[in-house]
Amino acid sequence: MRKSQIDDIGHAEDDDKGPPIRFTNQEFRKMFSLASLGKDDVFYDLGSGWGQSPIVALNEYDAKLAVGIEMDRERQAVSTARLRKWGLASKSKVVSGDFQDLYENRLQGASPSDATVVFYGLTSDNGLIDAMRQLCKPGCRLIHYFNGLFSGLCPTFG
């Protein structure tokens, strides 16, 4: 399953836009293991920041393809450069946009119907999760960050 673990990084800080990497690699590994991410999966990260989760998904879990959706152009450039540095450019893409663009099918090169695993770590908005369930094909695994009374990581199976 895993090739080799990549160097771990902590939470990165980034002025008023929020952190470009919100979770540690250990947290990504927990989420990806819970979702049984593997070689046949097309992984989507909504709000992919600097591309840490696509890097872990591709390098350690051998996902078939990783698609990062990111609306900040600087973060897109950093993510693309990092994926290239890790030799993962041929199995990944970073698409400019946000969830609303994806939901309204306005993103070139990204379709949630292709996804088998979707990660959204920015909020626990139930409306967003319900919308993703409708967009994704049956069996797609949704991973989202639940920040309620007891915060945790929640895989959702559609």
Q: State mean pLDDT over 107-135.
A: 79
> What is the pLDDT of the chain when averaged over all its residues?
81
* Percentage helix, strand, coil for the chain under 3-state DSSP, each rounded to 5: 35, 20, 45
Nearest partner of 69 among 91, 43, 90, 34, judged by Cα: 43
Bin 65: left if φ > 0, else alpha if -120 < ψ < 50, else beta. beta
The reported pLDDT for the residue numbered 100 is 74
The confidence band for 143, taking pLDDT boundaries of 50, 70 and 90, is confident
The reported pLDDT for the residue numbered 1 is 42
Radius of gyration of the chain (CA): 14
Judge if pTM exceeds 0.85: no
- C-alpha distances in Å from residue 112, one per residue of 57, 60, 87: 17, 23, 25
The confidence band for 106, taking pLDDT boundaries of 50, 70 and 90, is confident
CB-based contact 146:152 (threshold 8 Å): yes
- pLDDT digit string (tens) for 32-83? 999 999 999 999 998 899 999 999 999 999 999 999 999 999 999 999 999 9
CATH of domain 20-157: 3.40.50.150
CA distance 68 to 48: 5
